[in-house]
Copies of this chain bind each other. A is one copy, B any other.
């Protein structure tokens, strides 16, 4: 396979899907990859998703036109420091983490001059993990957010955008801070609420009462089945934005409680009606 080399570090669900999508979509890239699990790398080779298996993270990124760090958010910073010495001027680095401001700041701090970092967040993935859960269609029609800084060269952003667009993703650009606030609202806060609600219900009620929970609580707490360490890391990486958003949400709840306490049925109805009418906007815009 000819074309620019994409160096993927981390061949889990996202990294594996990225490699697979490049092949299935016939995107013009050569895929070099490394993962600390050699079995993952072997599977990537066997399936024909990986053209070249590297022996280390540094080897995977050396000379690659585009480097994709496809590891959990907390591993990105350590990895940036590890690969920095292996990078040369003109290379472009991106990642797939679901928080952006802290990663973008760290990249600006540790990467060599002339190496451009473009924060990335493909909004895709399931509760499963590992290369076994890879899916070449994972990014089809899904958003992929890129978070360049004002100083990031437009050419670097365009090349990262071209990669994701060639895999069927819908690329959206926004500043890192804006990204972190949006995802605190649409993803991290809902997860935090589900965990806290589940915990509180278990804490406050007796076992016999728990059997009375209906299917809506089940739907509601489904995400609680995700790996706790993954969500701890996402919440901690985005803790500033998330704490602010949680504070704003607490204010909304206090206002709703006031409506209950004063018996303001009309205000409650208007909230419920507004949410019902508006919900469709969440996925049709």
A interface residues (Cβ-Cβ under 8 A, vs B): 123, 143, 145, 172, 174, 178, 182-183, 185-187, 189-202, 204-205, 207-214, 216-226, 228-229, 231-232, 235-236, 239, 242-243, 245-250, 252-254, 256-257, 260-261, 263, 265, 268-269, 271-276, 278-279, 281-283, 285
When the two chains form their complex, are residues A228 and B276 in contact, meaning their CB atoms are under 8 A apart? yes
When the two chains form their complex, are residues A204 and B248 in contact, meaning their CB atoms are under 8 A apart? yes
* A-B CB contact pairs (8 Å), 25 listed: A172-B212, A174-B209, A178-B209, A185-B201, A185-B204, A186-B209, A186-B213, A186-B214, A186-B217, A187-B217, A190-B217, A196-B271, A199-B252, A202-B278, A202-B279, A216-B223, A219-B223, A224-B279, A225-B279, A228-B273, A236-B265, A236-B268, A239-B261, A250-B253, A250-B257
Partner of A221, one of B226, B228, B246, B282: B282
Q: Which residues of B contact A263 (CB under 8 A)?
A: 236, 239
Q: Which residues of B contact A145 (CB under 8 A)?
A: 212
| Closest Cβ neighbor of A254 among chain B residues | B250
Distance between Cα atoms of A250 and B249 in the complex (Å)? 10
When the two chains form their complex, are residues B253 and A211 in contact, meaning their CB atoms are under 8 A apart? no
- The distance from the CB of A224 to the nearest CB of chain B, in whole angstroms, is 5
